[in-house]
Structure 1
């Protein structure tokens, strides 16, 4: 019955928040008694709270000889904690109708929690155990290791995954971004329990934590919960890696793989999120490859029928900013698709955009923005993302004004500076016709 109630409440939370969130996202900054900052959107209409916690650094904090340790450690956080083994932990979570999700990527380890107000104390205590006292039992380690290894074996047969690893290795070199955060078959096989414990110590520290909460909770209650969960963590964790030095050569690299359709990832250095020209760059990239009406879709798919889909976007990561895109096409057509993408990249730099394109992009970007605020959990994630990006607390209210303020002159100036076809790097996985294994 409790589980049904949670599902019903979560559905209502999504519906109610989706209707009201855009107009009434009132964010309050909360400082816990121990000095940890959190952002809160109070909503007492439904007895339900979504909590998002992220630790900066992510899989980039792996020791060089223990790649994949943080990813494996993250997968073990629900596999027993404190006095409970994996089964006991699962039973306790189900009895509380609480939901916990643990994830990791290059830049952060994230914890997403959802719980009913009536079960809040017990749900928070269970989450505290997972964060501060994971067991890392041998049977759990081997079970989750097997799952990771199975996933890595599957990835090795996935052209998209192969292309992503190849492109990252070429662009980022020996920086942590240049090697897979999940590790390799060899590195994951070699991980010991000590490596997993060290990974936990590297990530979970107060100097890199960000918190967002939405729902039926007051500032005082949130402050107490934050301290219960995080106050006992060590002040510092592993040193953060330095910025990635981008290795930019341009051209096309082919990774042979037997498949009827080739996949290509492409990109070049991008623009930082805090750059004053970021919104102009965002609009230019949207016009080039950000929607079904983009130039790339029109030129590559609609006019020439070379692909079912092509896109590009800005990717300002913590330690490097790039512009990235993807296209897939038959082996005998991928070369033509790459040629058209290169031409459009150059045209963006040389000609910029038209006023009509700018107006359409602004309408799309400002109209689509409110749709992101669908559900308490989504909003909690946005609150944390804003903090990690250094955005002001009123950003939600002012973001569309910043988009609307971009002029045609702004976009075309930035496009001329930012888009550099000579730096555009393609990594192709497949058996493309007319492309050599390395055509740099």
Structure 2
């Protein structure tokens, strides 16, 4: 068969027409957004007080199971920072029936891994498995949470590992500045110390402290079993009763949580002098909101505009325009009883004062003027996209449910999340910024070579207090 040839002139005309129809430098228009359809989680309570929460996610035979205790690092006694974290970390390191190695092998046989840990207002155990193996997985979760042995050898091993990690991380300006900024905001309150403890507190933790904390907080009326994935409430209740129904509820009442905050540090800048540090870490923090605050969505959007993501204002001003840092970011840390907004930037020692000044300028700007419509729409779209992607997996969906359970937010808020973020206007963001970013609430810490930026800080009219690195004790008021 003879194919007709297209002449060069005709071919050029065709290409020119195509170029006019679709310029090469114009990407195709995005498709219309598809609404996220997600059902509100359902909840039932067993006779012993254990709450069972189910978030269905059909389509794949997977379930993420998390047993969450509603107590965490805020329960650490004075001079015992890190107790809740150490206790939770030891759960997977030996039970009455299995050694740490045997537990890992049992989880691996199920195609998963059992993970345990603690944070603010939470401790717990979790695993993701296929639906047919869920009963065996919950048996393992129950054993790990309720029957740990806290063997002395395992305590010393985990303590030594944690202290070794601290030795490395505490040599980093970013670690010290971030932890000190948290202390500056929350003071001597329950939220003020490091979750993992300190080099001074960990050696003080005895096995008796661990056993006492476990007995006091690992109880069914302080726990929530969250199951996310291919399961309904009827199946969840059956499994929960089978594996946790025998968990006895203590006769004594659950202790009330301690106050989250104490006296904040005075205004001004605290400088942690680290001779020889290759960079300086600038951390600025201020009291913010609890997780269940009505203006929490506005706070998320305000943080998105300020310092969440590559296109945020802090990253634009500090990294892109001036090249002063590889990353400039902020985070809204909204906990159950209180919260903080934190900003952290690493930069050259000589530019630390300049960076702090730029941060202050951006905070003032958000409080003084509304965010332009296009910028606001872009930041909200990013937040909504992140949320939508997160709930597509059982682990992500479980995490969103746990965050609401721990924060005291009604579970019915989950399917309304996108609508709540979409409803945030420029006035809401400005009102949040005016309330939270007020200059007298800000506490700044810079860790680095003090001699290279102390004069610059004083030139900004700031009160500067310098302390040696070895003098920093994060458990002292």
Instruction: Specify if TM > 0.5.
Output: yes
> Aligned equivalents of 1:283 and 1:43: distance in 2?
27
Pick from 136, 145, 166: which aligns with 1:122? 136
Is contact 2:150-2:207 (8 Å) kept?
yes
- Aligned partner of 1:54 in structure 2 is 68
> Aligned equivalents of 2:163 and 2:131: distance in 1?
38
Q: 1:439 to 1:400 in 2, by over 3 A?
A: same
- Aligned partner of 1:149 in structure 2 is 163
2:397 pairs with 1:379: yes
SS at match of 1:211: strand
- Aligned partner of 2:249 in structure 1 is 234
Is contact 2:188-2:263 (8 Å) kept?
no
SS at match of 1:177: coil
SS at match of 1:74: helix
Deviation at 1:347, TM superposition (A): 1.9
SS at match of 2:97: coil
- Aligned partner of 1:314 in structure 2 is 332
RMSD: 2.5
Is contact 2:352-2:453 (8 Å) kept?
no
- Aligned partner of 2:272 in structure 1 is 255
> Aligned equivalents of 1:181 and 1:409: distance in 2?
36
Q: 1:42 to 1:284 in 2, by over 3 A?
A: closer
Is contact 1:42-1:218 (8 Å) kept?
yes
- Aligned partner of 1:439 in structure 2 is 464
Is contact 1:51-1:211 (8 Å) kept?
yes
Structure 1, residues 155-196: CA drift from partner, whole Å, max 9, x if none?
221222211221122222222322222222333223222111
Equivalenced residues, count: 421
2:364 pairs with 1:353: no
Q: 1:73 to 1:276 in 2, by over 3 A?
A: closer
Q: 1:261 to 1:171 in 2, by over 3 A?
A: same
Q: 1:150 to 1:338 in 2, by over 3 A?
A: same
- Aligned partner of 2:12 in structure 1 is none
2:261 pairs with 1:244: yes
Deviation at 1:25, TM superposition (A): 4.0
5 Å matches for 1:252-401?
A: 252-257=269-274, 258-401=276-419
TM-score by length of 1: 0.87
Pick from 74, 78, 82: which aligns with 1:64? 78
- Aligned partner of 1:131 in structure 2 is 145
- Aligned partner of 1:7 in structure 2 is none
Is contact 2:40-2:415 (8 Å) kept?
no
Is contact 2:56-2:231 (8 Å) kept?
yes
Q: 1:246 to 1:38 in 2, by over 3 A?
A: farther
From the CA coordinates, give the structure whose radius of gyration is larger: 2
- Aligned partner of 2:431 in structure 1 is 413
Q: 1:21 to 1:158 in 2, by over 3 A?
A: farther
> Aligned equivalents of 2:164 and 2:35: distance in 1?
40
Structure 1, residues 237-266: CA drift from partner, whole Å, max 9, x if none?
443112313516332111011312101111
SS at match of 1:91: helix
